[in-house]
Structure 1
Amino acid sequence: MSYHEEEEVTAKYDPYDYDLHTGDPKADLAYERQYEQQTYHVIPEVIKNFLQYFHKTISDLIDQKVYELQSSRVSSESIEQKIYEIQDVYENSWNKLTERFFKTSPWPEAEGIASLVGNDAVFLILYKELYYRHIYAKVSGGPTLEQRFESYYNYCNLFNYILNADGPAPLELPNQWLWDIIDEFIYQFQSFSQYRCKTAKKSEEEIEFLRNNPKIWNVHSVLNVLHSLVDKSNINRQLEVYTSGGDPESVAGEYGRHSLYKMLGYFSLVGLLRLHSLLGDYYQAIKVLENIELNKKSMYSRVPECQITTYYYVGFAYLMMRRYQDAIRVFANILLYIQRTRNMFQRSTYKYEMINKQNEQMHGLLAMLSITPSHHHHMKVAPAALRGVTSRSAAARPFFMPLSCFPFRDLQVFEELFSFACPKFLSPVVPNYDNVHPNYHKEPFQQQLKVFAEEVQQQAQLSTIRSFLKLYTTMPVAKLAGFLDMTEQEFRIQLLVFKHKMKNLVWTSGISALDGEFQSASEVDFYIDKDMIHIADTKVARRYGDFFIRQIHKFEELNRTLKKMTITGTTVAATPITGR
């Protein structure tokens, strides 16, 4: 029975009844202000009853899970039904009540509601996870330093409960909530990493507090949690067996056969992809996904936000590793997926805004790939992915122009687009609080931008060389260098750069996204013999002659068959003649 159904049966109250409002604007404003500035001793009856119901759904599931663990069963229909009820509360009721009562103010503190839920430690940990997440997302001013620390300790308690018990924890949660836990955990680490670098407006007490607590939100702690969840769940082994057509349950182990551990393990792999990307280690970012077959639909890809995050970071890592053809393929696939499934996201404003932002960022990254040797391939793929784009973001709007008009050589445009579309890079190192540069928090971004800007400049030069090479089949090196206002030595260096840049690793088959074979992305190739450059078109034209000869032979064969049928008196009217 869902939260809403139970309310109808008991008729205690309607959770969304607006009778408390008077219709008088001044009185209604006072009513809203009462809850924005509420003390936690005054909790609306609606919220009390909701929290008691929320607690009951989770404690009932835990009781059922304890029974199943004792009897060595795994996820019965009863558990599935209870997870569905929790999902309804988590995705619908919680959001509606937040919108009504706590739009820009926090929910009641855990201490204030503890007696309502029987001081249930597990429920209070889960409640705090939602409580702090709401503060980060919606409360004006964002979290205080103390709240950042408290949220970190709450995550420690949650992961200790899951990882450090004698056996599997008697808990299951909807996949969406599990994904949101991992997603938010990394987001809060990212937020803290940038927060601690901005010391200009901090008091001496705050800086001293940060200085004395270097292990709070430490990168090693975050990595430890994610790797522990991956190891505990045996998720890599499960994925290995799953992709080879076997049964993952056979290698899941004591923990991994439970949905809680399996899904947290999978989401932690995506979390590690994101974390390594934020730190600028793109090879390691893709390496952690080596058992996930990105090019096939998977039983593990049930949460759309997880799918979108995975493809965004894989595509970005490919871009920074100069695997442009793979980046184009990844972005085109996920953008078409978002286009097809967009209606799913409109129910929840927060999710829709987040997915819309990543959608715009990926369109920006795809547009940036016009700098690459795969540019011609890009021009074919992009219109399908870009079709119907309507960007409301002021930052993004200048970049959604026809690609034929894109200012390929305007470095500033590329830098602005990179700034809009890239992840929020961070440094894992605790700053020296005695001497923090005002722009210290921007340094990781500036470093990545510098690498990207150098690539743009090199590609712009190669684009000019390629356009000249396409005009000739043989040419003196010195003459072509003259056309480009270079010395012969400079031009020979640029030709070597051209050869190097045109060879890229491209995924063709295999499970790991790091797999691939070297392919030339250019439609022209050349070699130098003494002082002459010999140029050849590497794009193989379709052999139209062979095609027409095959069709002529087919037609003659069909004609002979029809003549035979006419001679033998067979009726041919019933035999349809096709053009195949």
Structure 2
Amino acid sequence: MSASYDYDDADGHRQMQLSQQDIAYDPNFVPEYVKSFVVHLYRHIREKNVYEIHQMYETSFHALSDRSFKDTPWPSVDAVAHYVDNDHVFCLLYRELWFRHLFARLSPTLKQRIDSWDNYCSLFDVLLHGVVNMQLPNQWLWDMVDEFVYQFQSFCQYRAKMKNKTEQEIVLLRQYDQAWNVYGVLNYLQAFVEKSAIIQILDREKEGLEQFTANDGYDYDGGSNVLKVLGYFSMVGLLRVHCLLGDYQTGLKCLQPIDISQKGVYLIVIGSHIATIYHYGFACLMLRRYVDTIREFNKILLYIYMTKQFHQKSSQYEQILKKNEQMYALLAICISLCPQVNLLDETVNSQLCEKYGEKMVRMQKFEEEAFSIYDELFSYACPKFITPSAPCFEEPLVNYNQVHCNHVNLPLL
């Protein structure tokens, strides 16, 4: 499907005039509205116009995707490169969006998963070792880290399902054995933390010598926010990866520089806020720190209850609702193991009782039926754990995801 859009040259915002027609997808065909989109986005990035970048990233990109690229990829980076002066960094950013759209709307091939890894490596190497002179919205920078970890998780789960792999896929997996390597993923996230000096920045902020949080992570002196904010969000990314690996102590240690009891940049982006508290609470649950889990889940669930109507048009709305339900399931487990209803707000307690009141009564009896309920709620609400190492290619019929998950147990008292 194609659609034509007119853009206001003053700000690049989308003004739709639809005329749809069926056409075969051609990765090298660039409709006028895509040309206008990339030209305006490129100009705003060069001008460090964060407001306009945010509008185009959050509104125009998703609107165009919904209307014209619902089940096809965007035009290839090679097709749009000459419209943006073949700018290397912009092309890497565009390709990151291209792959993210592909993963969200379509089923990526193994080669595309590998190509996405290569693009992240190229982009991150530039951001870590080059001279970065950009200001990007916090939402985009969070999505970049979030998607990086998601694609790592997705690749590990894909690789572990060996039953239906073709010979060609196995050859590619052997050939590109470093793609989405767990050490490579951890090293990039840790490199952002170290290179950005974000831990030292947060320490200086406590002494009144920095204004990182007060400025929402942006640099109002004409510099770049990219490395600092990526370093900040990478601490959340490290927590998430370690939760996927079952190393909860290390995950919480990675998050330690962010004081979640105080205002932080992670609160600005709803997806970051929820991911931080979800993984923090889950790690505490697995370490039997039930009170910490109850206290933080109570705050975030009340916040979602009070604000979710403001996020209904957000592309993240479905994910917000899913995490909301998962946290209620984990909260039911915590309250059943460690009855601390006094820590819950009345609204949260009412929602919890409505969703899981009957099951919680049965769970607290610790009879045989109770354990099956614990298992049901835990399986629904826990992160989708991964096997980080490559499978044994000589035994292609084994589903390694199932083997790994069978060894992840809920810590009961």
**What TM-score comes out, normalization by structure 1 length?**
0.64
User: Whole-Å Cα distance in 1 between the matches of residues 347 and 379 of structure 2?
Assistant: 25
Do the aligned partners of 2:160 and 2:387 also contact (CA within 8 Å) in 1?
no
Alignment: residue pair count? 396
1:576 corresponds to: none
- Please point out which of 312, 316, 324 is paired with 1:351: 316
Q: How far is 1:379 from its partner?
A: 6.4
Residues 15 and 46 of structure 1 are in contact (CA less than 8 Å); yes or no, is this contact kept in structure 2?
no
Alignment counterpart, residue 199 of structure 2, candidates 208, 223, 236: 236
Sequence identity percentage: 39
Counterpart in 1 of 2:387? Answer: 427
Q: Distance in 2 between matches of 1:247 and 1:46?
A: 42
Task: Give the structure 1 partner of residue 3 of structure 2.
Answer: none
User: Superposed, which structure 2 residues align to 1:557-572 within 5 Å?
Assistant: none
Alignment of structure 1 residues 309-388 onto 2, 5 Å = 309-348=275-314, 350-372=315-337, 374-375=338-339, 377-378=340-341, 381=344, 383-388=346-351
Within the candidate set 114, 130, 133, 1:170 is matched to 133
The separation in 1 between residues aligned to 2:293 and 2:161, in whole angstroms, is 33
Q: Does 1:294 align with 2:260?
A: yes
| 1:299 positional shift | 4.7
Separation in structure 1 between the aligned mates of residue 102 and residue 73 of structure 2, nearest angstrom: 6
1:96 is aligned to 63
Deviation of 1:151 after TM superposition, in Å, equals 0.6
Q: What residue in structure 2 maps to residue 505 of structure 1? A: none
Q: How far apart are the structure 2 equivalents of 1:344 and 1:267?
A: 23
The 2-side partners of 1:404 and 1:181 are apart by 38
Q: How far, CA to CA, are the matches of 2:399 and 2:345 in structure 1? A: 36
2:245 matches 1:284 = no
**Distance (whole Å) between structure 1 residues aligned to residue 399 and residue 341 of structure 2:** 36
Give the distance between the partners of 1:261 and 1:401, measured in 2 at CA: 46
Q: Distance in 1 between matches of 2:345 and 2:37?
A: 47
Q: Map 1:471-482; keep pairs closer than 5 Å.
A: none
* Counterpart residue identity of residue 30, structure 2: I
Evaluate the alpha carbon distance shift between residue 126 and residue 370 of structure 1 in structure 2; reply closer, same or farther with a 3 A threshold. Answer: same
Do 2:27 and 2:76's aligned partners in 1 also have CA atoms closer than 8 Å? yes
Relative to structure 1, is the Cα distance of residues 401 and 85 closer, same or farther in structure 2, using a 3 angstrom cutoff?
A: same
1:38 counterpart residue number:
25
Inter-partner Cα distance in structure 2 for 1:444 and 1:422: 14
Q: Is the 8 A contact 1:15 1:50 kept in 2?
A: no
RMSD: 2.6
Equivalent residue number for residue 528 of structure 1: none
CA contact (8 A) 2:13 2:55 kept: no
Residue aligning to 1:7: 7
| Equivalent position SS for 2:393 | coil
Equivalent position of 1:191 in the other structure: 154
1:68-116 alpha-carbon deviations (Å, 9 max, x no partner): xxxxxxxxxxx4xx01110000000111111100112111111122223
The verdict on how the C-alpha distance between 1:380 and 1:326 changes in structure 2, with shifts beyond 3 A counting, is: closer
Paired residue for 1:71? none
Indicate if the aligned counterparts of 2:243 and 2:279 stay in contact, CA closer than 8 A: yes
1:48 aligns with 2:35: yes
CA pair 381-406 structure 1, distance change in 2 beyond 3 A: farther
Q: Structure 1: any 5+ residue segments left out of the alignment?
A: 1-5, 22-30, 62-78, 391-396, 460-580
C-alpha displacement of 1:243: 3.1
CA distance in 2, matches of 1:8, 1:231: 41
Q: CA deviation at 1:231?
A: 0.6
CA distance in 2, matches of 1:298, 1:259: 15
Q: Is the 8 A contact 1:192 1:217 kept in 2?
A: yes
Q: Does 1:144 align with 2:131?
A: no
Consecutive unaligned residues in structure 2, runs of 5 or more? 1-5
Query: What secondary structure is seen at the aligned counterpart in 2 of 1:52?
Result: helix
Work out whether 1:124 is the aligned partner of 2:87: no
The AA in structure 2 aligned to 1:49 is: S
Q: 1:186 to 1:288 in 2, by over 3 A?
A: same
On the 8 A contact 1:363/1:386 being kept in 2, the answer is no
Structure 1 residue 133 and structure 2 residue 89: aligned?
no
What is residue 547 of structure 1 aligned with on the other side? none
Q: Return the letter of the residue paired with 1:212.
A: Q
Please list, as runs of the form range in 1=range in 2, the aligned pairs for 1:210-249 lying within 5 A after superposition.
Answer: 210-247=173-210
Q: SS in structure 2 opposite 1:288?
A: helix
Matched-pair contact (CA < 8 Å) for 1:279–1:428: yes
Higher RCO, Cα 8 Å, sep 6+: 2
Secondary structure at the counterpart of residue 427 of structure 1: coil
Amino acid at match of 1:289: L
CA apart distance, 1:325: 0.9
Name the SS for the 1:448 alignment partner: coil
Partner letter of residue 280 of structure 1? G
Distance 1:12 1:224 in 2: 37
Task: Summarize the Cα distance change of 1:107–1:299 in structure 2 as closer, same or farther, 3 Å threshold.
Answer: closer
